[in-house]
Structure 1
């Protein structure tokens, strides 16, 4: 029988040491996924590193607001999806579906996180606070309904990353770069669809209702299309920056960008990976090397241009 708060079986929580209960509770915040807040800093740093460095305080507050907001959304999702997650071979091990955290404790954590997010919003410029607020509103809507709509679900997830990049750009006082936002959007749609492909291939459509509208061949095609557009947007964004920095950055980083894309496609379509893009990036050696060299090359050009 699955253990829930309403079941007497949850008394087994009393046998879990307090430190492990706290660890399970904190896991609901998904600290491993805080790396997804990177667009807040990366977008302005790549666009204009000197200007971004001069806005460290508002950028730090913006990042903190997004981290708190994303953790709030994660807890809300886990609360709503705990029954469905028990059907997933990996997600069933999470703190709520496994019974290591009670619904009551997770709800209290949700309220605290929502309060922290609201407090941080009051410290941000009005426009930036509006972007973060839009992120929260869209993701709550996603949790309640949009996650069940095919293609809309991945579009909303990608929009969350676009809002991060947009907020960071505005917080640094920089002009919005449309090609950068297009690149971020398409890349994140591809990663989200890669995750859907992995779920469809591994566990079928029982875990997520939107999966019934997908097929593996369809997802393969759409992932490739979005990665091609993302790469084109990346090149157009860099090329449009101040010369010679933009042109040099484009030429130097292009091979690493394409290799990272190729490796991701290989992992998804050949190795049947892609279930967690963050884990793929951290654990896969070739992916880590490609992304690391890409970042190093871009940083080298940034530093050289600032000297």
Structure 2
């Protein structure tokens, strides 16, 4: 009887394909994360808590509600970015920077986008279900405003900038609702005009450096027109900020001192921004500019520290005056 040699076949190695699959999954996860624009989360972190300035006594419950508002606005903004990138994918391919976005570059499947959208929407709904306070209409208003922006407002000159600035005002209003403080009208005007100033700088950069192909609304602007609007928004922002400090800010015992200290810092901050936009021809990414321009960071930081030191010294002197016989 002939012997039969049985040769066991070794299973084919799939190490390389598996590594490719893992790399692909990691890339998709990173692309989905980038869709949420993590660099822009700073908008919510800085703008929503502005209402704390008008809160005389901070409490853990107020801070908890503000933190909830920041997370909710971040998720709402992620939903908006997803919808906007889907709608604008063809126009984004005409932009040197936006063409590298995951959807414009075609790196994400439809299934991944649907699941991602469902997760974001479900997470936002879950946050609303466990909201620490009753009123959250600014977040719903933000979603509605941005859906209208994506549907057509973004193509209407001037209106499109007002819609974006309105989103920042809604962030501040949500902060006031979270802290249960009456909204300061001059603060809202200052935020609106300040955000409008940043958007104008971005539109100017796009008009000069990129062109109108990727953003049809730019056809309604000219360089001279945008320069005039920049100066107008700067004056409005300066007037609103100083009027807020002179009338509504909770600094009654030392209002005059705060005004005198604030004026040079506010002026320098505005002048520096206009210098960056008009002289250095930058401003295309306002978030990057505010986070990386050393002169702006030093100016704003010094302003906050100077006012904080004034308040601290005033309170210490008041305590000593009370203790003196």
Q: Give the TM-score normalised by structure 2.
A: 0.84
Who is 1:4 aligned against? Answer: none
**Corresponding position: 1:270 with 2:279:** yes
Shift of 1:264: 0.9
> Which protein has the larger Cα radius of gyration, Structure 1 or Structure 2?
2
Distance 1:72 1:255, change over 3 A: same
Partner of residue 119, structure 1:
126
Structure 1 gaps, min length 5: 1-12
Give the secondary-structure state (helix, strand or coil) at the position aligned to 2:281: coil
Identify the range of structure 1 (223-232 vs 117-126) with the bigger mean alpha-carbon deviation.
117-126
1:183 aligned counterpart, secondary structure: helix
Q: Output the CA distance in 2 between the equivalents of 1:298 and 1:113.
A: 40
Query: CA offsets, 1:121-158, max 9 Å, x none?
Result: 2333332x112111111111111111111111010100
Output aligned runs, 1:139-158, within 5 Å: 139-158=146-165
2:105 matched to 1:98? yes
Q: Relative to 1, partners in 2 of residues 1:230 and 1:15: Cα closer, same or farther, differing over 3 Å? A: same
SS in 1 for 2:304: helix
Partner of 2:55: 48
Matches within 5 A, 1:8-27: 16-27=23-34
Shift of 1:296: 2.8
Instruction: Map residues 1-307 of structure 1 onto 2, 5 A cutoff.
Output: 16-37=23-44, 38-41=46-49, 43-51=50-58, 55-124=62-131, 125-127=133-135, 129-240=136-247, 241-242=249-250, 243-301=252-310
CA displacement, residues 221-269 of structure 1 (integer Å, 9 cap, x when unaligned)? 1011111111111111112224124433332232222111111111111
CA distance in 2, matches of 1:300, 1:117: 39
Question: Aligned partners of 1:304, 1:276: CA distance in 2, in Å?
Answer: 38
RMSD: 2.1
Q: Is the 8 A contact 1:50 1:306 kept in 2?
A: no
What is the distance in 2 between the residues matched to 1:53 and 1:262?
38
Instruction: Return the offset for 1:274.
Output: 0.8
What SS does the corresponding residue of 2:201 show, helix, strand or coil? helix
Q: Distance in 1 between matches of 2:30 and 2:288?
A: 20
Whether the 8 Å CA contact 1:79–1:103 is kept in 2: the answer is no
The 8 Å contact of residues 52 and 179 in structure 2, kept in 1 or not, is answered as: no
Change (3 A) 1:302 1:81: farther
